[in-house]
Amino acid sequence: MSATSASTANPRPLDLASTPQVPLTRLAKVEYRKALDTRAGRWFIAAILLLVVAVEVIYAFAAGDDQKNFQDFLQVPGAVLGYFLPIIAIMLVTSEASQRNGLVTFTLEPRRSRVVLAKFLAGLGLAVSVMVLGLVLAVLGTLFGIVTGGSPSWSLDTGIVVNAIVLANVIGVFVGFALAMLIMNTPAAIVGYFVYSFILPTAVGILRALSDGFDKIAPWIEFNTAQTPLISGDFSPTGEQWAQIATSGFIWLIVPLAIGIWRLLRIEFK
């Protein structure tokens, strides 16, 4: 063997037919497992659910008896999960760089786009699992509300289920993914997420109060503001409000997500 014989050597092929590609469902299952197999991951999800329980209990005591309907209790997990599900998505992605296990992940599946898809599926799966648990907690909360004097209605608007719970949370999860892939560092991405979801809307609120012109355009360009009709009122945005969700969502979700994916497909995991 010599350094120059490379081109003349006769490569011995691997038997590729013996190993089919790793199915996407298996990759997604592994990613789901990875979100739960560390103390950090498990405790984070347990903490979210505990927080939901705590808020449900406080609400059962604090709310007026006529506001102890199932729908009211369902808004608790809706709101709490809205803030924390994106962080699950963030950790799912950033741990690959921050904990460096991306070296192994992307060696076992070098087609990175498949890993990205698997992470999306796992993130959605986790979100759904946590939402279902949240739903169960809302039922328990409503029952507890009866103990504290409520006589609840169990009816639900489709708006709250489809828009406030499912759609708003799915949007949140993907905002988390976008930030995670853009920033690729766990603490920084979480800080970024809180800036996006707390500081940004607050700043926008102040500016809206100061300027009439900005007040009009804010929901078109700021995603949190645009989503307000999804998660409050009668949970059914008007046509114009949907258009605002679409335009601001393009700016704050679609574009960052596209850049984030582009970046993740290229960066060197070290």
Partner 1 sequence: MITVESLTRRYGAFTAVDDVSFVCQPGRVTGFLGPNGAGKTTTMRVMVGLTQPTSGRVTIGGHRYADIPNPGRHVGVLLDASAQHAGRTGREILTIGAETMGLPKSRVDEMLRMVSLDDREAKRRLKNYSLGMKQRLGIAHALLGDPSVLILDEPANGLDPAGIRWMRGLLKDYADRGGTVLLSSHLLHEVEQIADEMILIGRGRIVASGTKEQLLAGTETKAAHVTALDNDLLAKALQAKGVTVAAAGTGLRAECAPVEVGRVAAEQAIVLTDLRSAGGGLEDLFLSLTEDTQREAPAQTPSAPATAEGTAR
Site residues for partner 1 per CB under 8 A: 1-7, 9, 11-14, 16, 18-22, 26-27, 29-30, 33-34, 37-40, 95, 99-104, 106-111, 266, 268-269
Residue in 74, 47, 36 with CA at minimum distance from that of residue 164: 74
- Minimum CB separation of residue 17 from partner 1 in Å reads 9
Q: Which residue has the tokens 């907690």?
A: 137
Q: Are 177 and 93 in contact (CB under 8 A)?
A: yes
User: Residue 89 and residue 123: Cα distance in Å, rounded?
Assistant: 6
- Minimum CB separation of residue 188 from partner 1 in Å reads 18
Q: Are 72 and 59 in contact (CB under 8 A)?
A: yes
Specify the residue, 15 or 212, whose C-beta has the smaller distance to partner 1. Answer: 15
User: Residue 36 and residue 12: Cα distance in Å, rounded?
Assistant: 41
Secondary structure class of 237 (helix, strand, coil): coil
- Minimum CB separation of residue 7 from partner 1 in Å reads 7
Q: Which residue has the tokens 């799912």?
A: 92
End-to-end CA distance of the chain: 31
- Minimum CB separation of residue 122 from partner 1 in Å reads 13
Specify the residue, 23 or 233, whose C-beta has the smaller distance to partner 1. Answer: 23
Specify the residue, 125 or 205, whose C-beta has the smaller distance to partner 1. Answer: 125
Helix then strand then coil, in percent of the chain rounded to 5, is 80, 0, 20
- Minimum CB separation of residue 105 from partner 1 in Å reads 8
Q: Are 189 and 94 in contact (CB under 8 A)?
A: yes
- Minimum CB separation of residue 21 from partner 1 in Å reads 4
- Amino acid found at 117: L
- Minimum CB separation of residue 16 from partner 1 in Å reads 6
Specify the residue, 100 or 216, whose C-beta has the smaller distance to partner 1. Answer: 100
Specify the residue, 114 or 157, whose C-beta has the smaller distance to partner 1. Answer: 114
Please, which residues have CB within 8 angstroms of residue 55's CB and are 6 or more apart in sequence? Answer: 76, 80
Specify the residue, 34 or 208, whose C-beta has the smaller distance to partner 1. Answer: 34
Tokens at residue 203, please? 């700043």
- Amino acid found at 139: V
User: Residue 148 and residue 153: Cα distance in Å, rounded?
Assistant: 15
- Minimum CB separation of residue 39 from partner 1 in Å reads 6
Q: Are 190 and 83 in contact (CB under 8 A)?
A: no
Specify the residue, 39 or 147, whose C-beta has the smaller distance to partner 1. Answer: 39
Specify the residue, 95 or 225, whose C-beta has the smaller distance to partner 1. Answer: 95
